[in-house]
Amino acid sequence: MEHKFLICVDPQTRLVYRLNLESHEVTYENGISDSIKEGYEAQAKTLETLKGFDISVWTFESEACWNYRRRALWNYLLQQDAYPYPAYITSRELSSAFADVTDINLLVDIGDYINEDELSPPNSDDEGLYNETTNFIFSKAEKTVRVKASLVTCSNEVIKNMVRHVYKNHRIKLRPKSQLHQLTFKVKGRREYFTGNYPMLAYRQVRIALRGLEYLSVTLTEVPKKWESKFPPYAEEAEHGKHPLMFWYPPAPLPYEPEKLVQKKPFLSMPRIFHLNKMNPTQVRTEITEKLMKGVASNKEMFTGECEWPFRVKICGLEGIYNLYTEAFWGNAVKNGEDTPAYVIMPKAKEKGKDKSNRGRSRSTNSYFRKSSLPLLNRKQKSSSRTSLSSRNALQALASSAHINHGPSCYIPQDLSAQFRLPFTPYVLSFEVMLLYGDSILRPSCYKQIKFYPFQYYSRFYQLVDLKIKISELPKETRLGINIYTVGHSGETALLGCAIKTLFDERGVMRTGLIALNIWPFYRVEDRLACMEEYHGISTEITGPRPSNVMLKNNLEYARIYVQFEKFITSEVTWSLKDYNYMKKVYRRLSRPYRSTIAAKNRQTRTKTSMNNNAGISGYLGDDGHEEEDGKLLETRPQIEELASLEKVLLHDPLSELTEEERRLLFICRDHYKTLPLALPLFLKSVNWSRPLQVKEAYRMLENWSQMQPEDALSLLNADFPDENVRLYACRRIAQLPDDDLALYMPQLAQALCFESQHYSPLGELLIERSLKNPYIVGHELFWELRSQLHVKALCERLGLILEQFLMLCGSYREDLFKEVNMIELFSYMSIAIKDKETHAERIAYLRKLLSENMSRIDDYFTEPVDSAMEAKGIKIDKSKVMSSKKMPLWLTLINSEMNSGDIPIIFKNGDDLRQDVLTLQMIRVMDMIWLENGLDLRMKPYRVVATADKSGVIQVVPQSKTTADIQTSYGGALGALKKQPLKEYLKEHNPKEDQYDKSFDNFIRSCAGYCVATYILGIGDRHNDNIMLTETGHLFHIDFGHFLGNFKQKFGIKRERSKFVLTEEMAYVMGGKESDGFVLFKDYCCKAYNLVRKHGRRLINLFLMMISAGILELPSKNEINYLREMLSLKLTEMEADNKFTKEIENALNNTFRRIDNLIHTFKH
C-alpha cells in the first residue's frame, strides 16, 4: 500500500498536523484528546533529554539550522519501528581461517518448555545423557540439548531438527506457549535472537564462538510469528485518536491559530550536490536565449560558470567588540569541555599590581600574543619576510603618530585593558582574509592581510579585498574566512576572533549583498572544520560593571563583522562549472587585440599589490590564460621517462606531500594507473580544484576509475577532499559496508560529518538511513558518537542536528536510549559525589548509599552503552565499589535481565578522555579484521569502550580475567614479577584437562602475537603488569591506552620503556621457552600478522588522519602519525619486514628492565 499522509508533532509548537508526503502540504489534525497531548509532552521532554543540546550552550537557531530542519521528508527515512527481538547479523565473508570448520556447537537451554512430569528419573549410570546421534545430546538433568549445527543451515531448520529429535527419542514436545508465536534461539544472557531465519554463520555470536569457544550457550524462547509496526504513523493506518508519536518539523513555522496556517514547500528537497547535478546550465541559457529571440519575457538566470568578474569582498566594519570580551571572560563562549581546542586562544590575565615594564618578560609563555608581525595561519604559504617587514613598518609609522583617531571613544583601549586585565592594551585592529577550500587556502593569492584600523567597539572602514580569482573559478565548497587581531602600541598582536561563511548556500546560490557575520570570540579559523560557520552560542547576561561608553550601545547579542559581496542583475547566481565552449561563443566578437587593449587600460587602475603568479586572473571577458595551459595539460601524453618516475610517486603514502612536478606527473599519467583503486586519492590531490577544465576531467575520471574498497574509500571523506562529487562517490562506496563494519568506522564517519560544507549532505543522509534501518548496531553507535561531542562548540550544530533527525525518526528505540542516558546521568552524578569523601572506604560506603537511594531509577530494564545487546535489570549494590586509581572510577555490577546468566560488570570513568582508548581499540579491531580476511585468527579480545560525554564513559569488563600483576602476586608472591612460572601455573589451574590446556596454550600464543604486533605498530606506551590481562582460557590482552603513537613515559629522564612492545621471559616460558616449537610458531604468527597489516598500512594512516580534528590529546596534528608510518615501514619487502620484527622480538625479550619495572609497579600499587 502506498502511503500518502503522515501524522506528526511539531517539536517546536507541540501541534499535531498531517503531512502530505507528495505535496508536503500541512493540515492540522483535530480531535486530539488531552491525555494524548500529555503523552506528546512527555515524549517531547524525553526527546530534549536525549538531544542534550544544553551540553553545548548553543542556540540551534541559525538560518542554516532551520533550513535543514524544515527539509523534505522522503520515504527512505521512514523506516519501520525497531524489531523488539533483534538479530545481530554480519554479512562479512567467513574467514578462511575457518575453512575446515563446518559446524557450530550449541548448548540449548530448553527448561522453559519441559514439564517435570515429562521427565523420568535419569539413569545413574549415564547421568541423564542420551546420545542417539552425533548431532544431538540431550541431558534431562540439566534440561539442555547439545546441538551440532551446520554453519550453512538456517536457524529455523536447526530448531525444527532439534524439536523432532527430542520428541522422537524422548516424547517431549517442544512447542510455543502461544499459537501466535514461533520458537527461536536467544543467546544466553544477551538480548540477541536468532530471528530472520539466516544461515547460522550469519549470526554475530556464532562467529565469535568459532574463535576458540567450546560451545555457544543459547536459550529456547519464542517470538511472535507476525509483528506489525505502528511506526511511522501513517494516517491511513492509524486508529482514530490513537496516533503513534513521530516528531518532525513542518516545512514552515506553524502558527498557534489553525486558521492562519500558510502552506509552504520545504526550502530544501535534497542535498546540494543532487540539486546542482540535476541542473543543466547550458540548456537553461539556450531556452532563455530562444525566448528572448522570440520576444517572450523570461526569468533572468545566471550561473557562476559564465561570470568572468573577479571575486571581491568588502569588509565594511565591526560592531559589538565588547561582547567578545564579556562572552569569553564572563560567559561560556570559549568553554568546550575541560580541554581547550587548539584553535581557541584566550589571553592570560595580567597579574594585579604587576608593573607594566615587566610585561615583556611574560610574553614568551603566552601564545595569545606575539611581538612583530601578525600571527599568520600555519599553512604552506607563509607571508614573505618582505610582507612581515612592511607590516611592522606600517605599525611603527602608525604608532609614531600622535594623531591616530579613535573617535569619541578614545579611552576604550585603556578601559578594556584594565577591566579584563589584558596582557597589553589593544591599539589597532588588523585582519586576515582568505578563501578556504577543504583544509587549505584555495590559492596563494586567496589570502590577504588588511592594514591597521583604530580599535573601537563599533568600527567602520569599508576595505575592498581582491582575492585574485574569478567567480567562474570558485569551487562550490569555498568558504570565506576572516581572522581578526588586536595590535598593541609596541607591535604585540593577539587574536580577537574569527568569522567564517560559505560562499554558496544550501541550494548552490552565491551569497550577494551585505551580510552580518557573528564573530567567534577568541577562535581562529580552523580550516579542517567546514561545519564551523557563524557563532550562535547562548549569550550570557552581563551583571558586572561595563564602560560607560557601551552601556547604551550594547544591545547586540553577538559581535559582528559586516561583509559586502558583489550584487548582480539577477537576484540569484547559481554555481556551475565554467562552460568554455559557451564562453567562446558569447565572446567571439571580442577579438584578442581588443581584449588586450581593454585589459591594458584597466590594469592601470588595479592595485599594484597583485600577485605575479596569477596571470590570466584579470577579470575581463574571455581573457583566461588558464584555459590554454589546462588544455595543453589535458592533451599531454607522458613520455617513457615520466612513466618510469610514476612508479615511485604511486608508492607515496597518505602523509606524503606532493611536489608541483609530482602533481603534474600524476595528472598527465592518469589513464595509465586508473586501474589502481588505491591511487585515486593521489590523482585527486593532483587536481587544481580552482581550474574548471581540470575539475571537469576529474569528474570524468572519477566515473571511470576502478572501484575502491569501501574501507579505503573512507579516506575520500577526509577534510582534504571537500569536493561534493568526490564525497558522493565515497558515500556510494561506503554504503556497501555491512552494518557491523559501518558501526566500526563510526568515529571517522562522525568526524567526516564535520568536514561537509553543508548540514544536508549525502553522508549525513546515509548515516541516518542506516541507523534507522538497524538502530541496535548502527544507530546505537551513531547516537553515542554524536552526543559525546556536543560540548565542542565548533562541532555541536552539525552533530546536534544529525542526532536530532535520528531521534525524531527512530520511534520506540528512543525509549532504549533514554534508559541508557538516565543510567549514565546517575553514574556521572555518583562519580562526582564520591570524590568529596576522604578515604577509600568512605567512598565505597557513600557509593552504595547513593545506589540504595536511587534504586527506583535502576530497577527497570536497560541496556549498556558499551553493548546494546547486554540488558540489565538492576545493580548489585554489595558488588559495586570505587576503584583505587587516581580518577576513582566506579566498578558497577549490573544484574543480567536473564536469570542464571551471570553478572554484567562495567566501569564508569569520569575525568579521562576515553576517545584515545576508543581509537586504539578500533585500530586493534581493524587489524583483527585484516588478519581474519587473510585467514589468520589470532584470537584477539579487544574489549569495548564508549565515550558518553566530555571526559567520561563506560568501559567493558572482560569476565574471567586478571591482570598479570595479580597473577604474579597470587602465584609467585611479592617477587612474582621476577619469576617465570606464574602465568603458566595460572593457566594450568584453570585448564586442568589436557585438551583444555592445549586450547589455552594455543590462545595464548596467538593473542600474544596479535597484541605484540598491534601495540608495536600503534606505539602504545605506559605498559606494565597492571594493564596487561589474561583470561582463564589463555587470551592475553592489553587495557588502558592513555599513551600511543610513541609517547613513551620517562621518569627523572630515564626511559621506562626500552622496547617497543611487551614480551617477557615469563610469556616465552608459557610458550615452552625461547627454543621451543611454540615460540617458533609465535614468531611466525608475529611476522605474518605484521606483513598483513603493512599491506593495508595506508588504511590505518587514513583512519588516524581523519581523527586529527577530534581534539585527542596525543593526536593534535598529522606529525604524530609519522610514528605509525615509521613502524609500518611500508617501503620494506616482506622478507626485510620479517627480519625487522624478528629483531624487535629479540630486543623485547632481552629487555630485563621490563621485569624490574613490573616489580616496582607491583610494590607501588
Q: What is the pTM of this model?
A: 0.92
Residue 388 pLDDT: 47
Average pLDDT over residues 286-312: 83
- Cβ atoms within 10 Å, residue 401: 8
pLDDT digits (tens, 9 = 90+) for 399-443: 444 334 555 545 677 888 888 889 999 999 999 999 999 999 999
The residues, ordered by sequence, that sit 6+ positions from 458 with a Cβ below 8 Å of its Cβ are 317, 318, 319, 320, 321, 553
Residue 713 pLDDT: 98
Query: Going edge to edge, which strands form the sheet with 310-319?
Result: 458-470, 310-319, 560-565, 513-518
Angle made by CA atoms 1043, 1048, 1049, in degrees to the nearest 5: 95
In terms of average pLDDT, the best of 147-156, 236-245, 377-386 is 147-156
Q: Provide the pLDDT confidence category of residue 371 given band limits of 50, 70 and 90.
A: very low
Residue 543 pLDDT: 62
Average pLDDT over residues 1101-1127: 96
Average pLDDT over residues 89-111: 94
254 vs 750, which has greater pLDDT? 750
Residue 359 pLDDT: 36
Q: Reduced to 3 states, what is the DSSP secondary structure of residue 450?
A: strand
Is the peptide bond prior to 692 cis by the omega test (within 30 degrees of 0)?
A: no
Lowest model confidence (mean pLDDT) among 148-162, 289-303, 318-332, 344-358: 344-358
pLDDT at 126 over 80: no
Quick check: 523 and 498 in contact, CB under 8 A?
yes
pLDDT at 513 over 90: yes
pLDDT at 124 over 90: no
Closest CA relative to residue 11, chosen from 812, 804, 799, 811: 804
Lowest model confidence (mean pLDDT) among 450-454, 936-940, 1160-1164: 1160-1164
Phi and psi (nearest 5°) for 954?
-115, 135
pLDDT digits (tens, 9 = 90+) for 320-364: 999 999 999 999 999 999 999 999 998 876 655 444 433 333 333
Residue 44 pLDDT: 94
Closest CA relative to residue 350, chosen from 329, 319, 371, 336: 329
Q: Provide the pLDDT confidence category of residue 551 given band limits of 50, 70 and 90.
A: very low
Average pLDDT, the chain: 87
Q: Give buried/exposed letters for 1-17 (b at 16+ CB in 10 A, else e).
A: eeeebbbbbbbeeebbb
DSSP codes joined into one string, 363-413: GGG-TTEESSS----SSSSPPPHHHHHHHHHHHHHHHH-TT---TT-TTHH
User: Hey, what's the cell of 191?
Assistant: 538480548
Residue carrying the nine cell digits 591594458: 600
Residue carrying the nine cell digits 567450546: 214
DSSP structure class, residue 345: -
Q: Reduced to 3 states, what is the DSSP secondary structure of residue 164?
A: helix
Angle made by CA atoms 801, 807, 809, in degrees to the nearest 5: 105
How far is CA 60 from its chain centroid? 20
Average pLDDT over residues 220-227: 95
Residue 626 pLDDT: 80
Residue carrying the nine cell digits 531448520: 157
Q: Provide the pLDDT confidence category of residue 242 given band limits of 50, 70 and 90.
A: low
Q: Provide the pLDDT confidence category of residue 885 given band limits of 50, 70 and 90.
A: confident
DSSP codes joined into one string, 498-566: EEEEESB-TTSBBP-EEEEEEPEETBPP-TT-TT--S--BPPPPP-S---GGGTTT---SS-EEEEEE-
Average pLDDT over residues 966-993: 89
pLDDT at 121 over 50: yes
Percent of the chain surpassing pLDDT 90:
68
**Domains observed in the chain:** 5-82+232-272 (no CATH), 96-224 (3.10.20), 306-350+364-567 (2.60.40.150), 812-911 (3.30.1010.10), 922-1164 (1.10.1070.11)
Q: How far apart are CA 581 and CA 579, in angstroms?
A: 6
